Chain A
Amino acid sequence: MKDSSENRRRLKWKCRRGMLELDELLQGFLEKKYDVLSENDKQIFEEILETSDQDLYEYFMKHTPPMDGRHQHVIEAIRTTVTD
């Protein structure tokens, strides 16, 4: 396991996306909620970061269900974090 602050910085860069909406959602979630996730959900968050920008946008904004059903609850948590 990498040093946690190092891993956190690595994830921060992976949250840099091609659309402002995704930056806001992903960077906000990493900052506010990532630390309290279970190890399993942390892994799912990393998997979500590998999804293409357009697909992510559709999961978040158009409520298209994610290809991988295991991602749904983390997608939902990310969506609701912005205005918490």
Chain B
Amino acid sequence: MDVACCDSGGNKMNLTKRKFDCLVIGAGGGGLRAALQLSQADASVGVVSKVFPTRSHTVAAQGGINAALANVLPDNWHWHMYDTIKGSDYLGDQDAIEYMCRAASNTVIELEHSGVPFSRLENGRIYQRAFGGQSQNFGGDQAARTCAAADRTGHAILHTLYQQNIHARTHFFDEYFALDLVKDEEGYILGAVAIEIETGIPLLIEAKTTLIATGGAGQLFYNNTNARINTGDGMAMALRAGIPMEDMEFFQFHPTGIAGKGMLISEGVRGEGGYLVNGEGERFMERYAPHAKDLASRDVVSRSIAIELKEGRGCGPDKDHVLLKVDHLDADIIKKRLPGIRDLSMTFAGVDPINAPIPVCPTAHYTMGGIPTNRHGQVVVPEHQGAEEPVPGLYAAGECACVSVHGANRLGGNSLLDIVVFGRAAGNHIIEYLKENRYHRPIAEESVDYALSRLARWDKKGDGESVDSIKTDLKKTMDKYCGVFRQEDVLKEGVEKVLAIEERLQHARLKDHSKIFNTARIEALELENLMDLAVATVCSALERKESRGAHSRIDYPERDDKNWLKHSLYFKEGRRLEYKPVHIKPLTVDSFPPKPRVY
């Protein structure tokens, strides 16, 4: 190992270097599942994580993980496959979905044997609960498919995988921030340049294979449910390395988040009799959904709120939220049936829902799009003759990837399944790749220089706008122009606004140029990542002229399978879009052709 003594500008002569068979970027469930597979196969694995690994966003997945174990009600993987395809509004790739649903049961049992304390039935089998979108017999009665470790499933999986990795001697770079991939002229990915947050010193991690597992990009939006670490770092690294982003227009929103804060207020509140009112005190859902009213589906409620806000009927000085009323309910009912919601509201909105309504607005929740991969976790791009040629040495798994099992809309309980199934699959494929690619390739100096220059850019002194103000403007712009209310003129204006913010970012400066724990610089680098993804998202949304799953266009209200049953691919260079077909053909069973999605 070389001695670290280079400055942040990157005195490359002295750049510290480390070498691994595989570099995993991100230490959530997807990254750790892949790392475990590799370390157990005696590959050398380095995991880079910008926060301590068990503080990854996987801990926030409290709901559970789907697998057709049939412990509570009859079930099989084929029904799970149908539900996932239907939930995806037929944009999901049916080969990947078949693979995931078939693998689910073994995956959950494997987690159980690794030490995840799943909740149990009296007969000792794993307990399973019913979630929305789950059916028996291809759209029949409700199924019960979600396995949970009480309400801490994500936490239990993450901690178990972390401990197993420590046992398997995976090497962790805790509190290191990955800047950019290193890519050579032949297109091989050779690792990444990272920076140690504590010292500000850059590090070159050379790797025969690199797996991106950095999670989603919920921080693109002002109102979102995601941890603040979810800035889409890996996706943006891929974009800068010339890899397109797939289906970025598909972002799952939840209708009721605490206004200005984003925390999720679950449907349970409306299920107990809570209802929404606008700034005029009107119970507006009666106009949009005369029968279901406040219990209409998530997208209908989200869009209705957005229209109320857009037409000036919001509440508060900025008319930027509506109110969720439960104060007509008996105080004891609220205390008994909605204690968690009451706590959230009192803590973050300063409102006790027994006495006053909760200020809410739609909140961004899950990134369906991401780095295009196949079911082995290989990153695939259109090249030469093929639409999906693997990028040698590069893999992605989890929310940052688009494999695509969620298509236009993700079902509850499928995100934890996605990360462990495809983390494991990527690990297995990497093991095979390493057998054929036994040596490190010569490092690509230009690519390393590029990464270091991006770091050095933030050392410039002088006057310039602050990163914080640009970030806030970007997120508010995304909420307003690329949120749940989408139509041609709004999105066009959104593209212009986002590009104007991108221009402002070029001239931003930091005030803090210290080396030790310079969090301001990390936040600037995160904002650059969000910036690239914001452009990708709004451009993709403008071009898709249909409504499908989470992408809801007022001006094109119907799904259009004739023209739009295809995946978007956004390229940073030239801000261009290409399209590729959906994999309609599963691995072994008959295809599920598109049908109207009615629940």
Contact = CB atoms under 8 A, between A and B. Distances in A.
A77 B197 CA distance: 29
B558 to A, nearest CB: 34
A37 interface: no
B55 A83 contact: no
A13 B55 CA distance: 11
Nearest to B218: A20
Q: Which of A12, A25, A54, A83 neighbours the largest number of chain B CB atoms within 10 Å of its CB?
A: A54
Interface string A20-37: 111111010000000000
Contacts of A62: 340, 343
A60 B514 CA distance: 34
Interface in B204-245: 224-229
B155 A52 contact: yes
A63 B342 CA distance: 12
A34 B456 CA distance: 32
B518 A9 contact: yes
Contacts of B159: 52
Interface in B487-542: 514, 516-519, 522
Given A53-B155, A60-B347, A9 B516 contact: yes
Interface string B321-345: 0000000000000000000100110
A16 B158 CA distance: 17
Q: Which of A17, A22, A52 neighbours the largest number of chain B CB atoms within 10 Å of its CB?
A: A17
B130 interface: no
Contacts of A70: none
B57 interface: yes
A18 interface: yes
Contacts of A83: 347-350
A63 B344 CA distance: 12
B263 interface: yes
Contact of B59 (A19, A27, A60, A82): A19
A20 B517 CA distance: 21
Q: Is chain A's binding surface mostly helix, strand, loop or mixed?
A: helix
B51 A16 contact: yes
Contacts of B129: none
B56 interface: yes
B539 to A, nearest CB: 27
Given A23-B227, A24-B348, A62-B343, A17 B516 contact: no
Interface in A50-84: 52-54, 60-63, 79, 82-83
Nearest to B516: A6
Contacts of B160: none
Interface string B55-66: 111111000000
B568 interface: no
Contact of A19 (B227, B340, B343, B518): B227
Contacts of B58: 18
Contacts of B514: 5-6, 9
B152 interface: yes
Given A52-B155, A54-B59, A82-B348, A17 B227 contact: yes
A33 B449 CA distance: 42
Chain B interface residue bracket vs A: 35 or more
Nearest to B175: A13
Contact of B56 (A18, A21, A82): A18
A79 B343 CA distance: 10
A61 B344 contact: yes
B261 interface: yes
Contact of B519 (A13, A21, A22, A61): A13
Contacts of B226: 20
Contact of B228 (A5, A10, A20, A53): A20
Nearest to A27: B228
Given A9-B516, A10-B517, A79 B227 contact: no
Contacts of A12: 517, 519
A25 to B, nearest CB: 8
Nearest to B349: A83
Contacts of A9: 514, 516-519
A18 B348 contact: no
B374 interface: no
Contacts of A27: 228
Contacts of B55: 16-18, 53
A82 to B, nearest CB: 6
B60 A18 contact: yes
B59 A20 contact: no
B228 A16 contact: yes
Given A53-B54, A82-B348, A83-B350, A20 B227 contact: yes
A72 B350 CA distance: 21
A83 B263 CA distance: 14
Nearest to A53: B59
A18 B59 CA distance: 6
10 contacts: A6-B516, A9-B517, A12-B519, A13-B197, A16-B227, A16-B229, A18-B54, A18-B158, A61-B347, A82-B348
Given A23-B227, A52-B54, A53-B155, 6 more contacts: A9-B514, A9-B519, A12-B519, A13-B522, A16-B227, A61-B343
Interface of A: 3, 5-6, 9-10, 12-13, 16-25, 27, 52-54, 60-63, 79, 82-83
The 6 A-B residue pairs whose C-beta atoms are closest, nearest first, are A83-B350, A18-B59, A9-B517, A54-B155, A53-B59, A19-B60
